Amino acid sequence: MKIKTISGAERFSLKRSIDAGTDEQRKTVRSIIEDVKANGDQAVRSYTARFDGIEIDSPLVTKEEIEKAYTSLDSQLLQVMRQAIENIREYHERQLQSSWFYHRKDGTMLGQKVTALDSAGVYVPGGTAAYPSSVLMNVIPALTAGVERIVLVTPPGKDGQLSPGVLVAAAELGIKDIYKMGGAQAIAALAYGTETIEPVDKITGPGNIYVALAKREVFGDVDIDMIAGPSEIVVLADETAIPREIAADLLSQAEHDKLSSSVFVTDSMTLAEAVSAEVNEQLKTLPRREIAEAAVNDYGCIYVAETMDEAIDTVNTLAPEHLEIITQSPEALLGRIKHAGAIFLGRYSPEPVGDYFAGPNHVLPTNGTARFSSPLNVTDFQKRSSIISYSQSAFEEHAESIAAFARLEGLEAHARSIESRERRNSK
């Protein structure tokens, strides 16, 4: 792994030029969406045949398929999943917000009413990317928020089957609306509805370039989560850290994707060199070596800072999706970390602990967007309404001022709306 010393002038960035789709792909996606809007189920069926290579007559997953999924899932894994669900629920329940209101002395009441979205759709990729954890991390915040209707879509394999892990994860959460459909056609079905699927208000979940383009396309008609880029980890460590562990953590992100970025920041050149050697060593026996090696070579780096202060500044500039702090006293640095999606403190919190199990969400801002965005949250499935209730006396006290302000802005009808109340007790 390459080692660089930090020079003051350097601008660090995790930013990769992410596939934004070709014009051709955008056109394809738009035409699929139009077709699903116009022809509903029949259009979805024909795209499933074309892209997934299977005729699906009734896309709704049956009770029998769920039962079969349970029988094919390792029972130890089911136990882990159940524990993970408990952890994720516990954490997300803390994110719930309450409606609030307050009264001014003049009797005016102001407030904010929090309401769950009516419905949400979750996209779960198929094939090797069919992660049960995606189901948990997207569905649990929506359930916790109080969303009443949650629809899950996921593309079938060529045999018409779905991943047992995905099915069991959905079933454990009580999701019954599971449809075998994927790609842009599934996003269109969620956004605009078909004969069998009612449209939803928000669509979340990862997917390939067609799914990402389709989500961008329907955004505005429905809400979407952020379009995620490739995964990233930054490890910040001092000389007390163990090179083997840091190397393993860097590789755990690198195996996701050739575009994944694994970065190590330290104030110790000795540690930097040891970690670099460990990465090379551990790469040799990795099943996904080819992917991980490409990621490490192209988007991985070890930055050596002169001081821990400089190292922390570098982390803040990178604004990583995942940040591990493995130093003598990681908690002591927490106050100085400004930008990171998820922060893992100490050697017993390697990133995979958070990916699956600990409780916080694994849907995180990538590509430097942790500067301004947040992990998927219960509040992403709620919306807020302002409440304004003026008392008669408060209204009368301020009516003249409000009308004057309206006129300053050139809006006469606004002023008249106020003044229409002033003729007291008249009709």
Q: Is 338 in the site for a copy of itself (CB under 8 A)?
A: yes
Q: Could you write out the DSSP letters of every residue in 313-338?
A: HHHHHH--SEEEEESS-HHHHGGG--
What is the Cα–Cα distance from 296 to 304, expressed in whole angstroms?
17
Residue 93 appears among annotated catalytic residues: no
Nearer to a copy of itself, 57 or 102 (CB): 102
What crossing angle do the helices spanning 183-192 and 209-218 adopt, rounded to 10°?
A: 20
Q: Is 24 exposed, middle or buried (0-12, 13-18, 19+ CB in 10 A)?
A: exposed
294 scored as a contact of a copy of itself (CB under 8 A): no
Give the nearer residue to a copy of itself in terms of CB position, either 186 or 228: 228
- Chosen residue from 56, 209, 248, 294 binding a copy of itself by CB under 8 A: 248
Q: Which of 324, 322, 338 lies closest to 372, judged by CA?
A: 338
* SS3 state of residue 4: strand
- With tokens 């500044």, the residue in question is 313
Is residue 103 close enough to count as binding a copy of itself by CB under 8 A? no
Report which residue type is found at 308.
M
Among the residue ranges 36-44, 52-60, 64-72, 351-359, the one whose residues contact a copy of itself (CB under 8 A): 351-359
223 with 382: CB under 8 angstroms?
A: no
Check binding of 346 to a copy of itself (CB under 8 A).
Answer: yes
The residue within the footprint of a copy of itself, chosen from 3, 54, 294, 358 (CB under 8 A), is: 358
CA distances from 390 to 105, 108, 402 (A): 11, 4, 13
Give least dist CB 243 to a copy of itself, A: 8
Count the residues of the shown chain that bind a copy of itself, applying the rule CB under 8 A. Answer: 122
By CB under 8 A, residue 176 contacts a copy of itself: no
Q: Retrieve residue 310's tokens.
A: 């400089």
308 binds a copy of itself (CB under 8 A): no
Of residues 376, 365, 377, 266, the one with CA closest to residue 14: 365
Least distance in angstroms from the C-beta of 57 to a copy of itself: 29
396-425 binders of a copy of itself (CB under 8 A): 398, 401-406, 408-421
171 versus 403: smaller Cβ distance to a copy of itself: 403
Residues 127-156 binding a copy of itself (CB under 8 A) are: 128, 131-133
Q: Are 186 and 194 in contact (CB under 8 A)?
A: no
Q: From the CB of 196, what's the least distance to a copy of itself, in Å?
A: 18
Is 398 marked active-site?
Answer: no
- The secondary element (H helix, E strand) that includes residue 412 is helix 412-419
Window of 44-52, 170-178, 179-187, 286-294 that interacts with a copy of itself by CB under 8 A: 286-294
For residue 180, state whether it binds a copy of itself (rule: CB under 8 A).
Answer: no
Given 255, 321, 324, 351, the catalytic residue: 321
Q: Of residues 92, 322, 339, 362, which has the active-site annotation? A: 322
Do the beta carbons of residue 85 and residue 358 sit within 8 Å? no
| Contact between 37 and a copy of itself per CB under 8 A | no
Smaller CB separation from a copy of itself, 61 or 120 = 120
Span from 51-59, 183-191, 302-310, 377-385 in contact with a copy of itself (CB under 8 A): 377-385
- Closest contact distance (angstroms) between CB of 88 and a copy of itself is 11
Q: Does 260 bind a copy of itself (CB under 8 A)?
A: no
Structure tokens at 305: 């800072």
**Shortest distance in whole angstroms from residue 207 CB to a copy of itself:** 16
Asked if residue 279 lies in contact with residue 297, where contact means CB atoms within 8 angstroms, the answer is no
Distances (CA, A) of 56 to 61, 185, 265, 388: 11, 13, 50, 51
Smallest gap from residue 298 Cβ to a copy of itself (A): 17
- Which residue's CB is nearer to a copy of itself, number 174 or number 287? 287
Question: Given the complex with a copy of itself, which of 139 and 406 has the nearer CB atom?
Answer: 406
Task: Choose the binding region for a copy of itself from 2-10, 44-52, 60-68, 343-351 (rule: CB under 8 A).
Answer: 343-351
Concatenated DSSP letters for 74-126?
Answer: -HHHHHHHHHHHHHHHHHHHTT----EEEE-TTS-EEEEEEEE-SEEEEE---
Segments of 230-363 assigned E as strands: 232-237, 261-266, 301-304, 322-326, 342-345
Residue 96 interacts with a copy of itself (CB under 8 A): yes or no: no
Cβ 182 to a copy of itself shortest distance, Å:
18
Known binding residues: 123, 185, 208, 231, 253, 256, 322, 355, 409, 414
What are the catalytic residues?
321-322
